């Protein structure tokens, strides 16, 4: 379930061609369980009709401060008091300048000015031409809006409606949704750095073949996303997977276990939490043929020899920062049977404070999972749920343990 479920958001549209994305944003918010009250400026109505936004939000749209539907005729007060947040998307250059100066000559800016500062956060998604965005006046306004406590989202980069290319596009609806979810997630890992490994590794036999496994990387990516939402700075070292990078996460792609170890060692020095979800190949061919190994027609098979790969988790768990408690290590165990027995044994063997067990064949590639958390104090089951939800729960458990130094 989204952290947005049950929230009430006032979605404000100022004038900009990006308003078409706000229709999709409105729909996505409603789908996430949000009640959406749309407020539009006159300029916004040039780009999007109130009828469209009413149909998508399921509520009449407000466009005027003189709207007689409000019994006390104070839409700017009534609408802002009910909101968990006001989100202005698109926020035009003109609208941001108006916000900065306390302008209040139409309903949307009037409502932003009238909102209770301590209760109703204001989030704006800028949208404009690249020259307008880069203009010192806009950049100054953005800095001052931030100083005023207004949450200014990043802009996207790319082709613009005017035909130019650069910074200033409004974020896509799914990106804004992600930012809003992050905004409402408790920042239990604020100022912490989290390093996650995910996916399988690929151990080459020759230039066209190798050994790997069925790990999809979904659990690790979900954990990286959840950690970022919880306020952490997240680095994700990923084996070969077909997943998009969670927003705000730094991703490093690798192939083999040795490459994964190298990148982990390069980034773990400043991490506070290391979560090893990767299904690292235990062995690799002792040599990698430079050319494709050919069949010679005799029926003879190649004589492959294997050597053991480094154990990344065990190596990190033995580092001075882990041993001194500055780095909290979390291992995963993907088992096919006797989950609890193996998970407990693996926690001791890898010498980590927390080991998360799951049934590998049942979860590989799936969107949901069930976890069992094993630490020095005992066992906690996280019942069957989406990997995203489990990841959020696990991040909560990790944060609790760091704060209370349990395990
Ligand atoms: N792991 C690792 N490096 C390895 C092997 C495993 O970092 N070379 C990590 C995994 O990311 C996971 C944990 O160790 O967090 C356990 O991985 P798993 O494959 O379940 O265990 P193995 O150590 O490989 O033990 P076994 O194959 O006997 O189950």
393 with 257, same domain: the answer is: yes
Nearest atom in ligand 1 to the alpha carbon of residue 315 is 7
Residues 6+ apart with CB under 8 A from 223: 196, 198, 275, 277, 391, 394, 395
- H or E stretch at 386: strand 378-386
| Ligand 1 close to Cβ of residue 202 (< 6 A) | no
Check if 311 has its Cβ closer than 6 Å to any atom of ligand 1. Answer: yes
**Has residue 3 been placed in a domain?**
no
One digit per residue, the tens of pLDDT, for the chain of length 407 reads: 789 999 999 999 999 999 999 999 999 999 999 999 999 999 999 999 999 999 999 999 999 999 999 999 999 999 999 899 999 999 999 999 999 999 999 999 999 999 999 999 999 999 999 999 999 999 999 999 999 999 999 999 999 898 999 999 999 999 999 999 999 999 999 999 999 999 999 999 999 999 999 899 999 999 999 999 999 999 999 999 999 999 999 999 999 999 999 999 999 999 999 999 999 999 999 999 999 999 888 989 988 999 999 999 999 999 999 999 999 999 999 888 899 999 999 999 999 999 999 987 778 788 999 999 999 999 999 999 999 999 999 999 999 999 887 44
CATH number at residue 63: 3.40.50.1950
Q: Are residues 230 and 317 located together in one domain of the fold?
A: yes
Residue 45 belongs to some domain of the structure: yes
Range(s) of the domain holding residue 316? 193-284+305-404
122 and 266, same domain (yes or no): no
Distances (CA, A) of 84 to 11, 305, 375: 11, 61, 37
For residue 261, the model assigns a pLDDT of 98
Q: Whose CA is nearest to atom 27 of ligand 1?
A: 282
Q: 350 and 206, same structural domain?
A: yes
Give distance in angstroms: CA of 83 to centre of ligand 1.
Answer: 47
Please check whether residues 317 and 223 belong to one and the same domain. Answer: yes
What are the structure tokens assigned to 18, written together?
Answer: 């990006």
Distance 340 CA to ligand 1 centre (A): 15
CA distance 378 to 343: 11
pLDDT at position 360, please?
Answer: 74
- Are 159 and 222 in a shared domain? no
Confirm whether 50 is domain-assigned. Answer: yes
Q: Are 198 and 225 found together in one domain?
A: yes
The answer to whether residue 1 is domain-embedded is no
Per 3-state DSSP, what percentage of the chain is helix, strand, and coil (rounded to 5)? Answer: 35, 25, 40
Residue 88 belongs to a domain? yes
Phi and psi at 397, nearest 5°, equal -65, -40
329/350 Cα distance (integer angstroms): 10
Q: For ligand 1, say whether the CB of 351 is within 6 Å of any of its atoms.
A: no
Which pLDDT score is estimated for 38?
98
149 and 79 both lie in a single domain: yes
* CA–CA dist 93, 337 (Å, integer): 59
| SS3 call for 169 | strand
Count of domains in the chain?
2
Give me the phi and psi of 193, to 5 degrees please.
-105, 130
Q: What is the CATH number of the domain that holds 377?
A: 3.40.50.10300
The verdict on residue 332 lying in a domain is yes
Residues 392 and 261 both lie in one domain: yes
Residues 202 and 317 reside in one and the same domain: yes
Question: Of 124, 154, 184, which one is at a domain's C-terminal end?
Answer: 184
How far apart (Å, rounded) are the C-alpha atoms in residues 40 and 140?
Answer: 25
> Where a domain ends, among 184, 205, 240?
184
**Could you list the active site residues?**
162
Residue nearest to atom 18 of ligand 1 (CA): 333
Check residue 120 and give its pLDDT.
98
Q: Give the residue from 163, 184, 205 where a domain finishes.
A: 184
280 touches ligand 1 (CB under 6 Å) = yes
Are 116 and 244 in the same domain? Answer: no
Q: What is the pLDDT of residue 407?
A: 45
3-state secondary structure 268-305: HHHCCEEEECCECCCEEECCCCCCCCCCCCCCCCCCCC
Helix and strand numbers (H, E) in the chain are 15, 19
Residues 19 and 138 in one domain: yes
């Amino acid at each position: 379930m989204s952290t947005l479920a049950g929230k009430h958001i006032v979605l404000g549209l100022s004038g900009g061609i990006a308003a078409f994305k706000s229709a999709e944003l409105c729909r996505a918010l409603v789908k996430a369980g949000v009640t959406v009250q749309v407020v539009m400026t006159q300029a916004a109505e040039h780009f999007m009709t109130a009828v469209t936004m009413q149909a998508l939000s399921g509520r009449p749209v407000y466009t005027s401060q003189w709207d007689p539907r409000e019994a006390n005729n104070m839409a700017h007060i009534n609408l802002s008091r009910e909101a968990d947040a006001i989100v202005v998307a698109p926020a035009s250059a003109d609208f941001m300048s108006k916000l900065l100066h306390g302008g209040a000559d139409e309903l949307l800016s009037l409502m932003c000015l009238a909102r209770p500062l301590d209760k109703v956060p204001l989030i704006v998604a800028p949208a404009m031409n690249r020259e307008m965005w880069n203009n010192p006046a806009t950049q100054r306004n953005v800095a001052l809006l931030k100083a005023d406590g207004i949450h200014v989202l990043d802009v996207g980069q790319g082709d613009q409606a005017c035909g130019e290319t650069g910074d200033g596009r409004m974020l896509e609806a799914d990106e804004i949704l992600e930012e809003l979810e992050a905004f409402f997630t408790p920042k239990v890992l604020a100022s912490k750095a989290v390093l996650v490994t995910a996916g399988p590794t690929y151990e080459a036999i020759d230039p066209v073949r190798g050994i790997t496994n069925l790990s999809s990387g979904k659990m690790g990516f979900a954990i990286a996303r959840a950690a970022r939402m919880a306020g952490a700075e997240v680095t994700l070292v990923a084996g070969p997977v077909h997943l998009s990078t969670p927003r705000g996460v730094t991703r490093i792609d690798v192939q083999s276990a040795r490459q994964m170890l190298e990148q982990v060692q390069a980034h773990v020095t400043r991490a506070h939490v290391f979560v090893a979800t990767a299904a690292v190949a235990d062995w690799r061919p002792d040599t990698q043929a430079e050319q494709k190994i050919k069949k010679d027609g005799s029926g003879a098979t190649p004589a492959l020899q294997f050597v053991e790969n480094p154990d990344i988790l065990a190596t990190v768990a033995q580092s001075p920062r882990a041993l001194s408690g500055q780095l909290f290590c979390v291992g995963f165990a993907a088992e096919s049977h006797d989950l609890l027995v193996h998970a407990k044994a693996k926690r001791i063997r890898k010498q980590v404070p927390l080991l998360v067990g799951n049934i590998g064949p049942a979860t590989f590639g799936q969107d949901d999972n069930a976890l069992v958390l094993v630490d020095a104090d005992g066992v906690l089951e996280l019942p069957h749920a989406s990997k995203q939800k489990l990841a959020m729960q696990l991040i909560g458990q990790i944060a609790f343990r760091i704060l209370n130094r349990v395990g």
